[in-house]
Amino acid sequence: MCIAIDMGSLCSAGCGENLSTCCSNLSNMLEFTKGLITELGSLSSDEDFSIVHFGTNVTIASALESWRQSIETINQLEYNGGGSDLAGAISSCQKALAISPPNRKNVMLLMGVGAPSMPEVNPLEAAATAAMNARIQNTAIVPIVIEEPTLADDSNVLYLKNEISSDGQVFVSDLVDLNNLQEMLFEHLICLT
């Protein structure tokens, strides 16, 4: 499983100069991600996780490590902000998953996904193409939008549903309701794997 964490969209949208709120939002999302990894890791000792974080730049922080090692990797992530290179994140996750054992179902979680803004030319098309290439390689893609559901950009959610998600599912939650999201997402991931 590869988890791509969008550090650009979460902290850029509506924060302005208030980086302490953004840091709090990011911290909450990272705690949610660690909780999900812990829950998934407790089910299967052979599940490996890759961690990618992105904003304007994309970094593969770890590739195919245990759930405990993934928690440590997430603990060391630092906010990098900027835009949202969703195409780069999807391609990087697919690259990390390409070395997984052939008998495993590859799953990609796109955490906190906002509207892609990178690359500068056709970011929506670039992300859709990267997602299509990952789906062709039998990778399940699950977008997770972290914002108030009533304020979620309907066009972005529709885009993620139609162009990015492998099964038309997009999970939307605010930071307050992450526990309910974790339960729904956990059940969905168990069905995918």
Q: What is the reported pLDDT for 21?
A: 46
CB 97 within 8 A of CB 133: no
Of 158, 164, 4, give the one whose Cα is nearest residue 93: 4
The closest alpha carbon to 130, from 79, 33, 58, belongs to 58
Task: Report the 10 Å Cβ neighbour count for 112.
Answer: 26
Least confident span in 33-42, 138-147, 160-169, 172-181: 172-181
Tell me what pLDDT residue 128 has: 97
pLDDT of 182 reads 80
CB 112 within 8 Å of CB 146? yes
Does the predicted TM-score (pTM) go above 0.85? yes
What percentage of the chain's residues is helix, strand, coil (to nearest 5)?
50, 20, 35
Distance (Å, whole) CA 135 – CA 137? 5
- pLDDT confidence of residue 18: 47
Q: Which of 107, 127, 109 is nearest to 4 (CA)?
A: 109
Dump pLDDT digits (tens) for 20-73. Answer: 445 667 788 888 899 999 988 887 667 899 999 998 899 999 999 999 999 999
